[in-house]
Amino acid sequence: MDEKKEFTPSIIYGLCSWCGTGGSETAGAMHLQYAENIRPFRVPCTGAIDPVYILRALIEGADGFAVSGCHPGDCHFDSGNYRARRRTAVLKSLLDTFGLDSERVWLRWVGHGEGKRFADTVNEFNDHIKEMGGNPLAKRRDT
Ligand code: FES
């Protein structure tokens, strides 16, 4: 039995209230299938997701953390998504510096009507994390 295929990652998914959530609702309205093991949460804007939350989730055992919100130029708070992009880049660089897996964090824009893009993002990220395997920080914590 392939252990990686049986592995069900724990994935946290932050969605902005506007486009990110809208994309997930459109995916639902289109009856698109996507991995069930994501734990979505909603924030007013991706710019409100503090990188400390992401780091904490990884330390607490999440296998992956994805963020989706409005495309550049479409943020309902003007530039929150640009802030999210800058913060995510800094966080990923820090994770790399400390030898952690920066690829456990994804940021991908999803528009309100982009249900397929939302479902594809969930499935691609889930497959990607499955390929990476479980979060070594979580394993270390549990021993
Ligand atoms: Fe969607 Fe800012 S409101 S990213």
pLDDT tens digits for range 17-53: 999 999 999 999 999 999 999 999 999 999 999 999 9
Q: Is residue 1 part of a domain?
A: no
The least confident of 15-19, 75-79, 133-137 is 133-137
Ligand 1 centroid to residue 121 C-alpha, Å: 17
Q: Which atom of ligand 1 is nearest to the CA of 47?
A: 2
Q: Is residue 3 a part of any domain in this protein? A: no
Spacing, Cα 90 to ligand 1 middle (Å):
19
Number of domains making up the chain: 1
Answer whether residue 141 is part of any domain. no
The sign of the torsion formed by the CA atoms of 127, 128, 131, 133 equals negative
CATH number at residue 123: 3.40.50
Expressed as residue numbers, the domain containing 82 is 9-136
Look at residue 20 and tell me if it is in a domain: yes
Residue 60: inside a domain: yes
- Token output for 56: 């904490």
- 4 falls within a domain: no
Cα distance between residue 77 and residue 44, in whole Å:
9
- HSE-up (13 A, CA, CB side) for residue 37: 17
Residues with CB under 6 A from ligand 1: 16, 18-19, 45-47, 69-70, 75-77, 80-81
pLDDT tens profile 110-135 = 999 999 999 999 999 999 999 999 99
